[in-house]
Structure 1
Amino acid sequence: MKLKTMLLAAAALATTALHPLGASADEVKKIGLAVSNLQADYFNQIKIGVEAYAKEKGIEVITVDAKNDSATQVSQVQDLLTQDIDAFIYIPAGAAAAAVPTRLAKEAGIPVVNVDRNADGAPGDTFIATDNATSAYEVCKHIIGLADGKGKMLMIHGQKGTTPEVERTKGCMKAIEENSGVELVAQQWSEQWSQAEGLNIGQNLLQAHPDVTLIFAQADGLALGAAQAVKVSGVSQRVYVGGFDGDTTALPILAEGGFDATATQQVRGIGRLAVDSAIKLAAGETLPAEQLLPGFLTTPENAAEFVAEHP
């Protein structure tokens, strides 16, 4: 099935399930958007999706960027809640203190749409994300297949305890458990999900385990860094590297064979769905606790199509 057809089908299913009455945006004039870190392409694409779609509907968006600092985000959200917002779209800056903004908004009677990361113990009124576990499973299954179902693996995690880190770990571990010839020999957590961290962690782990043939890095930035680490490490064997996100910067590199697989997320689609959900909640409607969208396994063989279709 072509990418455009898959995306349209997924969007149609989401629209049918979530918008049976076709509510308008009349009840919502202003939305607060708290983002964990706009330096990351993934979060910036969600922001673009939210702001562009809200503008189409005549809704003002006030966006704040925590730069990955939980304390900063709590302060920013406290300020947002004084600005007469009708709904709150929230991407936690980390696991620590993630529940505080949700509780503050709910105490103020403002509906909360959590995106990408949920707040443990204080979830939003709905949670929107990619099906991280399933997509990570598909990526790890693919690179394990490339390695003939055997070999030593490294895992470079995202920020510890965040929803995507937990779910992507779960998905990849399922693929490892299904392949008795694969051994997870080392793993390490990052803080920023960044390429610099992927390079640094990758070099350190490869130095300790020079015979690995598989690396799963839980974000494309980490994967690009890990692939670079493989190149500079001087290992002679083929090392298969999987990432996650389908970042606009990473997809062209994947298309050229710079690494081996990723899961492309519908980032701007997530932003649009967040706005629609905020409108629904503000109108008093109840939404599912979770709204998980599919990610698409992307390899050098089909990456060019994703590059062309990526918003």
Structure 2
Amino acid sequence: MNRRSASASLLALAASLGFALAAPSASAAGTTTIGLAVANLQADFFNQIKQSVETYGKEKGVNVITVDAKGDAATQVNQIQDLLTRKIDALIYIPAGATAAGVPVRAAKAAGVPVIAVDRNPPDAPGNTFIATDSEAAAEQLGEWIVKQTKGTATLAELQGQLGTTPELAREKGFSKAIAKAPGIKVVARQPAEWAQDKGFAVAQDMLQRNPGINVIFGHADAMALGAAQAVKVSNVGHKVLIAGFDGDLAGLKAVRDGVIDVTMTQQTQRMGRMAVDSALELIAKKSVPAQQLLPATLTTKENVGPFISQHP
């Protein structure tokens, strides 16, 4: 199914569920309830946000209802409809994909429920505020580090995330900006691996078979970088392959420490969750919140990875 037909199908589903008829906010009932719609709890990044939102929400006396779309946009449409009928006061929303990601935002706003988009922001229907890493700046910094490490000469492959999503678009833009300054770096392969380690392994293995001279692989998430490292190991390419990731999740950080991957960009994931709760409470109280709240990431190598591991929940 192409993106346009998939979007039409989800729009039809949303209409059939009666999104516009969702119950109004329940703030008058005296208990603040926030819905947290997560893209996929199999990913450590999203699990960290979940833990942060739930822990901080409890500190603030907020009831948090969490749902996991398991990577499926249609499932998420159903889940958010259910959250709206349960009279949530605000929605913290991590879209499960780019296709029809704006449907739940429009539904929530029609019901008078503010939306805090985290990590991914539907371009056609953005949340009331968007909280994320400044992925473009971080990926550009990572690209500049790779240019320096390779002295501007390399054969490079990229493992992309879910195409069309906010972080994928931003990371591609920032990284490409840095690499463009080094004409000696040739990008010989660029293919999506959907943020997943197993797909990262399969795609990287195929890339190495077709281009055995690859000596740099950038996985747009740590999971894909770990898959690439496994592919390099079994492919016996006979030369060093520099492997870069992005996220700074626990597995990625340990891989940097152990020399399995060379570098990652560590995001402030737990802080994002707390910011999302604070923004939700401010929006519920009808206070002004910036449309965009971007955080820097930290370039992380073996030299500075230790504190990030020890601080990890």
- Shift of the alpha carbon at 1:143? 2.4
What residue in structure 1 maps to residue 172 of structure 2?
169
Deviates more, 1:298-307 or 1:123-132: 298-307
For residues 206-221 of structure 1, the aligned pairs below 5 Å read: 206-221=208-223
For residues 130-169 of structure 1, the aligned pairs below 5 Å read: 130-169=133-172
- Shift of the alpha carbon at 1:27? 7.7
Q: Which amino acid aligns with 1:287?
A: V
More contact order relative to length (CA 8 Å, sep ≥ 6): 1
Match of 1:29 among 27, 32, 40: 32
Secondary structure of 1:307's counterpart equals helix
What residue in structure 2 maps to residue 40 of structure 1?
43
What residue in structure 2 maps to residue 244 of structure 1?
246
Q: Which amino acid aligns with 1:153?
A: L
Match of 1:182 among 179, 182, 185: 185
Match of 1:90 among 78, 88, 93: 93
Whether 1:104 and 2:100 are equivalent positions in the alignment is no
- Shift of the alpha carbon at 1:218? 0.3
What residue in structure 2 maps to residue 116 of structure 1?
119
What residue in structure 1 maps to residue 268 of structure 2?
266
CA contact (8 A) 2:252 2:264 kept: no
What residue in structure 1 maps to residue 66 of structure 2?
63
2-structure distance, mates of 1:115, 1:103: 16
Cα deviations across residues 41-65 of structure 1 (Å, max 9, x unaligned)?
0000000000000000110000000
What residue in structure 2 maps to residue 126 of structure 1?
129
Cα deviations across residues 223-265 of structure 1 (Å, max 9, x unaligned)?
0010111111111221111100001122112111111110101
Whether 1:287 and 2:296 are equivalent positions in the alignment is no
TM-score, length-scaled by structure 1: 0.90
Cα deviations across residues 68-121 of structure 1 (Å, max 9, x unaligned)?
000000010001001111111000000011000000000000010000000121
2-structure distance, mates of 1:155, 1:43: 22
CA contact (8 A) 1:28 1:87 kept: no
Secondary structure of 1:49's counterpart equals helix
Whether 1:54 and 2:57 are equivalent positions in the alignment is yes
Secondary structure of 1:81's counterpart equals helix
2-structure distance, mates of 1:147, 1:301: 18
Report the RMSD for the aligned CA atoms in angstroms: 1.2
TM-score, length-scaled by structure 2: 0.89
Q: Which amino acid aligns with 1:117?
A: R
CA contact (8 A) 1:50 1:272 kept: yes
1-structure distance, mates of 2:30, 2:109: 18
What residue in structure 2 maps to residue 255 of structure 1?
257
Structure 2 gaps, min length 5: 1-28
Structure 1 gaps, min length 5: 1-25
CA contact (8 A) 1:139 1:243 kept: no
Secondary structure of 1:93's counterpart equals coil
Q: Which runs of 4+ in 1 moved over 4 A?
A: none
2-structure distance, mates of 1:80, 1:268: 23
Return closer, same or farther for 1:69/1:303 CA change in 2, 3 Å cut-off.
same
Q: Which amino acid aligns with 1:45?
A: Q
Secondary structure of 2:85's counterpart equals coil
- Shift of the alpha carbon at 1:140? 2.1
CA contact (8 A) 2:56 2:277 kept: yes
CA contact (8 A) 2:245 2:252 kept: no
| Aligned positions, number | 285
What residue in structure 2 maps to residue 222 of structure 1?
224
Q: Which amino acid aligns with 2:261?
A: F
Identity of aligned residues (%): 54
CA contact (8 A) 2:35 2:91 kept: yes
Whether 1:73 and 2:76 are equivalent positions in the alignment is yes
CA contact (8 A) 2:95 2:121 kept: yes
